[in-house]
Chain A
Amino acid sequence: MTTPLGSFPGGLVLDGQKKRSTYDAIRKTPLSKKLILPLQQHIGEASEPIVQVGDKVLKGQKIARADGHVSVYLHAPSSGTVTAIDEQPIPHPSGLSAPCITIETDGEDRWVDLEETPDFTTLSEHEIRHRIREAGIVGLGGAGFPSFIKLNPGVHHTVETLIINGVECEPYITCDDMIMRERAEGILDGIEIMRYALRVNKCIIAIEDNKPEAISAMELALARRTELHDTNIVAIPTRYPTGSEKQLIQVVTGKQVPSNGLPIDIGIVCHNVGTSYAIGRAITHGEPLISRIVTVTGIDVTHAGNFETLFGTPMHELLSFCETRREANEPFILGGPMMGYNLSGDHLPVTKTANCILVGVDNAAPKTDPLPCIRCGECATACPVSLLPQQLYWYSRSKELEKTREYNLFDCIECGCCSYVCPSKIPLVHYFRFAKTETMNQELETQKADNARIRHENRLERHEAEKKEKEERQRQRKLALAATKAAKEKEAAEKAKTADPQPDSQEQ
């Protein structure tokens, strides 16, 4: 085990509430009659359906292909029949609907033929990335960025360190904790494959020190792997938001990712432990990503725990499986209490990024109206990115978007530390999201206006050119006309001369 090299400013020590959901081992959620699979469960372009309504599908069969570079494949989580390809409500803060494939399961859960590769070194790095993409693997920590892209450093970068994120700093969530406790071997399989694909030896597995069971399970598994001698586990002091990629890098290596940059710019690649496990399964066993571990917890959940759940399973089935004291239509949280979002419809499906369903939290933000900001500066002290949330709040409120940019609004990671510590209970992050969206909309508008202006200018130029061309043509024509006229006159004059040699004298 190694020790962390750095630390970040601010942050919070929160009541983890982890024990609620770690009493029992990971259980399987019962197979649902209906699975609803949004075509976009990742960052990037939505996948393109390759099945039709009425098609029979097998478990693990591809049902949608990657469309564009930043996209992945989607698979049937169980065998059955495709009953619809249409818009369905999806788990999204705005309550949007989006294209989904609906599968009615047949209960047989029959697998498609899987291509196993016991020795991944027989594959090239490129083939591995390709398979990971075909297996539909995205970052399972919550962001859902296609993993194969993060395993492709490109020709301009060399990777020095692979960091495996098992921090799980948000309260209540324990799916990474449990996967480390129970499936450490599988995680290490994934790490081996990723090291191979990235051509990097050094790997650090970062785990918060409030998970001693996970740390010992991982250490035990690691001790048996001689080929992973350059892989180390580092126990990180429990502090929110250490699990955030940039903060984790700062803690583990002491380095900072440049503003607007990516970890790869400083030779680092981060992957979540769950993603690592999924990569191991995908390459070694050929299993695509069709399920994930979801923590169901909260003070209103009777049987909290972690559940291996097929994608597309409606959340109400999971919730009724765990028994909750939730009232009908009472909102619940998808994700953690600090960065998740609330949903009220429980017929929404579990997707690749759904790490936690949280019903009821302790120390919930009060219902009372916020007081004015008293400029105490607690928010700035708590900010892990060293922003000045108070100034950002003033400018966001007054819609001075230019100013919010000057105060680095776009470096805000929306971790919520500022709102948490605010004695006036101002929902600061809410304002920052608003200002960000507003700025982006404005930029879009400016872009549109610019495009329109350029189009208009081009049109004017074109007209001008056409006009000039026309004039030129007219001028040419006139000249030609004049020339012919002159020629004719000359001709006529010459003719007249020959016919009447003394016209002048006649006039006189």
Chain B
Amino acid sequence: MPLSRLSSPFLSGTSRVTLHMLQLLLALVPAVIALVYFFGPSVLITMTLAVVVALLAEALMLKLRGRPLKPFLTDGSAIVTAVLLAIALPPLAPWWLTVVGILFAIIFAKHLYGGLGYNPFNPAMVAYVLLLISFPLEMTTWLPVASLSEHPLDFAGAFHVIFNGQLVSGLSFDTVSGATPLDAMKTQIGLLQHPSYIAQQPLFGLFAGKGWEWINIWLALGGAFLIARRVISWHIPVAMLLGLTTISLITWLIAPETTGSPLFHLLSGGTMLGAFFIATDPVTAATTIKGRIVFGAGVGLLTYIIRVWGGYPDGVAFAVLLMNMLVPLIDYYTQPKVYGG
């Protein structure tokens, strides 16, 4: 093979950005299947819509910025952003919510900062937070798991909900929607219910929310696959989960009436998605080994603090964005010791 480089090394490993992204998507497959199983097929529709809009927005921005289309459209990063946001959105999210979120993620959070590799904040989480703040009602209207629902959504029903904003049966959303387990836990602790009592309600399963716990377990297994394939390193997920476990365990031991169990927090909401797929986004995370541990632990702590003492039921997105801000500082103070230095 003729040499293409001007200087050594002339060899190159098999690692490719696109390959990383593809493996990431592959690792999400079991969790998406679980999502469909528990909350109906609407996530697939939202995901398809998100991917299409993301690729269009990416192409538009590349065109405007005078960048080549092919290498950047095929790098897979826009698709990953779209899929991650789609997984985080509620199953009844109307089409425009997805579109607004994706456009903001790709145009503002990614390309206005310089595109792939240059964005300081995770685009999917920026979009998620924007939507959460701007459209709190739509963003918190979740479905209970299919087995609990009297009106489980089929494919046509989901399509109707997303694009027409109403149920096929003509019933209002209130009859089908419900709080997420995290939300329920937070509200009812606010009403001075004991967490162990709350956890006995039908909304909850073995360890955490019914359905949610399995989705989180599948996400964690997908994450383990990524670590085994060396797409991500173990430092951030392990640090984040340990951070979350430590603070929730301490609070749970001291004041069990104020918080769910550590296991509940580990398997609820966006914990595993955040730990393995969001906080590990290389572009926006810390890069040194020690830095990654600090970064991950910070995300874990902040997630818990926001969930339990903050105003929102889940805190992963905010925690990631807050820690994103600290990355330059963390990286600066965690430089490794150089050979012979």
The residues of A with any CB-CB pair to B shorter than 8 Å are 8, 12, 14, 93, 171, 246, 250, 256-261, 299, 330-331, 333, 335-342, 360-369, 371-378, 380-381, 384-388, 390-391, 407-408, 411, 414-416, 419-425, 427, 429-430, 433
Contact = CB atoms under 8 A, between A and B. Distances in A.
Contact of B341 (A381, A408, A427): A408
B336 A386 contact: yes
A363 B10 CA distance: 8
A246 B17 contact: no
B338 A386 contact: yes
A375 B283 contact: yes
A420 B341 contact: no
A424 B288 CA distance: 18
A411 B337 CA distance: 11
Given A371-B72, A375-B283, A411-B340, 5 more contacts: A250-B339, A257-B339, A363-B11, A411-B341, A430-B7
Given A372-B116, A376-B20, A363 B12 contact: yes
Contacts of B6: 342, 427, 430
B268 to A, nearest CB: 29
A366 B5 CA distance: 8
Contacts of A375: 117, 282-285, 287
B82 to A, nearest CB: 17
A371 B17 contact: yes
Contact of A259 (B115, B117, B118, B339): B339
Contacts of A384: 339
B233 interface: yes
Nearest to A419: B9
Which 10 A-B pairs rank lowest in CB-CB distance, beginning with the nearest? A416-B9, A372-B117, A365-B12, A376-B282, A259-B340, A367-B4, A423-B15, A385-B339, A386-B336, A377-B287
Given A256-B339, A258-B340, A377-B233, A333 B4 contact: no
Dominant secondary structure at the B interface:
loop
Contacts of A414: 8
A388 B288 contact: yes
A421 B15 contact: yes
Among A93, A330, A419, chain B packs the most CB atoms within 10 A around the CB of: A419
Interface in B312-341: 331, 335-341
A250 B339 CA distance: 9
15 contacts: A14-B11, A246-B340, A259-B339, A260-B340, A338-B8, A342-B8, A365-B12, A368-B71, A375-B117, A385-B338, A386-B339, A419-B9, A423-B16, A423-B19, A429-B8
A408 B3 CA distance: 30
Contact of A380 (B13, B75, B288): B288
A337 B16 contact: no
Nearest to B232: A376
Given A330-B2, A365-B5, A8 B233 contact: no
Contacts of A365: 4-5, 9-12
A366 B71 CA distance: 13
A190 to B, nearest CB: 28
Interface in B251-286: 282-285
Interface string B281-309: 01111011100100000000000000000
B98 to A, nearest CB: 25
B340 A380 contact: no
B337 A386 contact: yes
